[in-house]
Structure 1
Amino acid sequence: MTQQKVRWGIISTAKIGMTKVIPGIKKSEFCDVVAISSRNQSAADEAAKKLGIPRAHGSYEALLADPAVDAIYNPLPNHLHVEWTIKAIEAGKHVLCEKPVGLGATEAEQLLAVSKKHPQLRVMEAFMYRFHPQWVKAKELVKSGAIGEAKMVQSFFSYYNVDPNNVRNQADIGGGGLMDIGCYCISFPRFLFSEEPTRAVGLLDFDPVMKTDRIASGLLDFSGGKSATFTCSTQLMPYQRCIVFGTEGYVEIEIPANAPPDTPCRIWLVTKEKKEEIMLPVADQYTCQADVFAKAILDNKPVPTPLEDAVNNMKVIDAIFESGKSKSWVTI
């Protein structure tokens, strides 16, 4: 009999996992969350009790050795993504790894190389936004020519967090706005255009104490005169938006990255003839992501977002950082 559900183990009790991803996975008809791990047993026990997870492991190694676990979700801090994803692969587990997949393209390529040695395993970067109905619709509108030829993507993503103890504000472990949320702004146009930028220029402002980028802006050059601009920040009023401009209209996505799991989302299609508000059904994007990842495992098919995509996103992030230093365009 074919296995009906993917059995998940969660590596660490990170907040995003506890509050968003695990609840989303648990709602998937194709998934069971069977284990969670922490660096100490008491933290694992507490997390397991809180979320109704059957088993708790007092180390990451114990989770990877658990024969009842098929797939691992890795929400560790950025500097541990590649290390523990590789360990999970070598332990024979499928892996969904939080974004950004590593500290740079070189690390991401190391992960890709290891994953290719284990073609029976599915490994994917967790850009959950792509699977929400609002993004499925937005890409459909762009692809269908509803706004003419799509030429420009403009995005903004910010929050305010100056806590030096927060992992997002620790430079030595991959903190900063560009890695944490700028990765979305870079992924958006790559997803919508279905191609890679050829060069990039960036402007970054760093916190003088924490040494992390607190405001990062970029301009990406795609083929045929297409481009994308973005700004992300860890120290501005919280806001997010993405707009796709075409020759005959535009599509505006109100909450592009943090779509609420319990409220309908809306996007706007604007042309010379009309302004249409499109309401999308309630959907938990983390459940949508779990569904597609689990189906790839159960049906023995490729994941919708291969690791090559993660490598390419990291190449653009690297280029923005390099441009920030050189004050010039950087070829990707």
Structure 2
Amino acid sequence: MTGKEVRWGIVSTAKIGLEKVIPGIQRSKTGVAAAIASRGQDKAEAAAASLGIEKAYGSYEDLLADPEIDAIYNPLPNHLHVPVTIQAVEAGKHVLCEKPIALSAGEAEQLLALPKGRLVAEGFMVRAHPQWIRAREIVRSGALGELKAIQCFFSYFNDDPENIRNMAGIGGGALYDIGCYTMLSGRYFFDAEPERVVSLIDKDPSFGTDRMTSAILDFGQGRHLNFVVSTQLTPYQRFNLVGTKQRLEIVIPVNAPQGEAVEIRTDDGSVLGDGAIQTETIAPCDQYAELIDVFGRAVTGEAPLPYGAEDAVQNMKILDALFASAEKGGWAAVG
């Protein structure tokens, strides 16, 4: 590395990389988008030219072999997350991998055996966004009283059979794509792990993916998280954290607009119909740039990595339990 600069290589020209993460790297304080790879040289060169990236590679292997690249961002389809992350670490790179990091906890556990000198993390940008950080500060302050219930709804409509989110064999479906955020919110805001889960899945008859999943996660001590996620409903997202004194509402909890202000709201319920809502504006930011800097400071040794491979394995254990619950039709223990 050159000083505190982290030089990033991006494997694939996936939409989230081109539209969200690469611009985030370019806006970050610590990172440089130095190279991009695709399975075709022409496609890689076109992406590099449009985004002002110095190097373009026609194979992932050539990018991983570049000694000037410090870290890899892996936004490949879900079934390729673990194998390509392993390749990258074995090539001496740190890796930030898109969520979900694997298709099962067992697959994710392979990452725990990798050399400890290279960092691996799952790309949950929401945990770097000031609105989530501020919301947890409010929870921890006791302003909500005892946080007892979290309610999450997250949906979008996508019935394109060619879209990877609708391909069951490579990790498509609502739980993998967006349910991971809703269950993560419980871990983050309760500061605890779920003990058991129960879920109900509606599968698309053609795709075989879960197009709608509803679930309850039991965090013990009377703390419940319930969510609905869907890939075939009206686009909507809203998280509510409800305590014994107040509730807190995160208006755009996951896809917060890059570079725009957002709101969190608190309400003590003294006036029904939202009449007692108090609004707090969170200053404009880019949550992808924030995540890149969290990871970048860990790479350069300026700060510890808050969430590593072990955290990613725990996320997969919860997703495994949610799938298992729906399959057997009852509660499933986590882990």
How big is the shift at 1:89? 0.5
Q: Which structure 2 residues correspond to residues 110-129 of structure 1 after superposition, within 5 A?
A: 110-114=110-114, 118-129=115-126
Counterpart CA distance in 2 for 1:146 and 1:113 is 42
Of the three residues 321, 325, 328, the one matched with 2:327 is 325
CA-based RMSD: 1.2
The AA in structure 2 aligned to 1:68 is E
Residue 130 in structure 1 maps to residue 132 in structure 2: no
How big is the shift at 1:291? 0.8
Residue in 1 aligned with 2:297?
A: 295
Q: Which moved more, 1:199-208 or 1:312-321?
A: 312-321
Is the 1:122–1:302 contact (alpha carbons within 8 Å) kept by the matching residues of 2?
no
Counterpart CA distance in 1 for 2:188 and 2:83 is 27
Counterpart CA distance in 2 for 1:142 and 1:90 is 40
Counterpart CA distance in 1 for 2:245 and 2:291 is 32
How big is the shift at 1:316? 1.0
Residue in 2 aligned with 1:56?
A: 56
The AA in structure 2 aligned to 1:283 is C
Q: Which structure 2 residues correspond to residues 162-177 of structure 1 after superposition, within 5 A?
A: 162-177=159-174
Counterpart CA distance in 1 for 2:289 and 2:111 is 25
Q: Which structure 2 residues correspond to residues 1-332 of structure 1 after superposition, within 5 A?
A: 3-114=3-114, 118-271=115-268, 274-299=276-301, 301-332=303-334
The AA in structure 2 aligned to 1:330 is A
Counterpart CA distance in 1 for 2:298 and 2:40 is 32
How big is the shift at 1:2? 7.0
How big is the shift at 1:168? 0.3
Counterpart CA distance in 1 for 2:304 and 2:113 is 16
Q: Which moved more, 1:293-302 or 1:237-246?
A: 293-302
Alignment length (residue pairs): 329
Counterpart CA distance in 1 for 2:63 and 2:11 is 7
SS of residue paired to 2:221:
helix
The AA in structure 2 aligned to 1:135 is W
The AA in structure 2 aligned to 1:46 is A
Counterpart CA distance in 1 for 2:264 and 2:298 is 29
Percent of residue pairs bearing the same amino acid type: 53
How big is the shift at 1:300? 5.5
Deviations 1:100-139 (A, max 9, x none): 000011111111222xxx2221111000001111111000
Deviations 1:293-323 (A, max 9, x none): 1011112543111221111111111111111
SS of residue paired to 1:223:
coil
Counterpart CA distance in 1 for 2:43 and 2:2 is 35
TM-score of the superposed pair, with normalisation by structure 2: 0.96
Counterpart CA distance in 2 for 1:130 and 1:90 is 27
Structure 1, unaligned stretches of length 5 or more? Answer: none
Counterpart CA distance in 2 for 1:276 and 1:305 is 32
SS of residue paired to 1:302:
coil
How big is the shift at 1:187? 0.4
How big is the shift at 1:262? 2.5
Counterpart CA distance in 2 for 1:294 and 1:262 is 20
Counterpart CA distance in 2 for 1:302 and 1:123 is 12
The AA in structure 2 aligned to 1:206 is K
How big is the shift at 1:205? 0.3
Deviations 1:37-65 (A, max 9, x none): 00110110011001000000100000000
The AA in structure 2 aligned to 1:290 is I
Deviations 1:158-186 (A, max 9, x none): 00000000000000000001000000011
Is the 1:221–1:227 contact (alpha carbons within 8 Å) kept by the matching residues of 2?
yes
Deviations 1:18-43 (A, max 9, x none): 00010011111211111000011011
The AA in structure 1 aligned to 2:250 is I
How big is the shift at 1:272? 5.0
The AA in structure 2 aligned to 1:96 is L
TM-score of the superposed pair, with normalisation by structure 1: 0.97
The AA in structure 2 aligned to 1:111 is L
SS of residue paired to 2:72:
strand
Is the 1:8–1:35 contact (alpha carbons within 8 Å) kept by the matching residues of 2?
yes
The AA in structure 1 aligned to 2:26 is K
Q: 4+ runs of 1 displaced by more than 6 Å?
A: none
Deviations 1:164-223 (A, max 9, x none): 000000000000010000000110111111111000000000000010100001100012
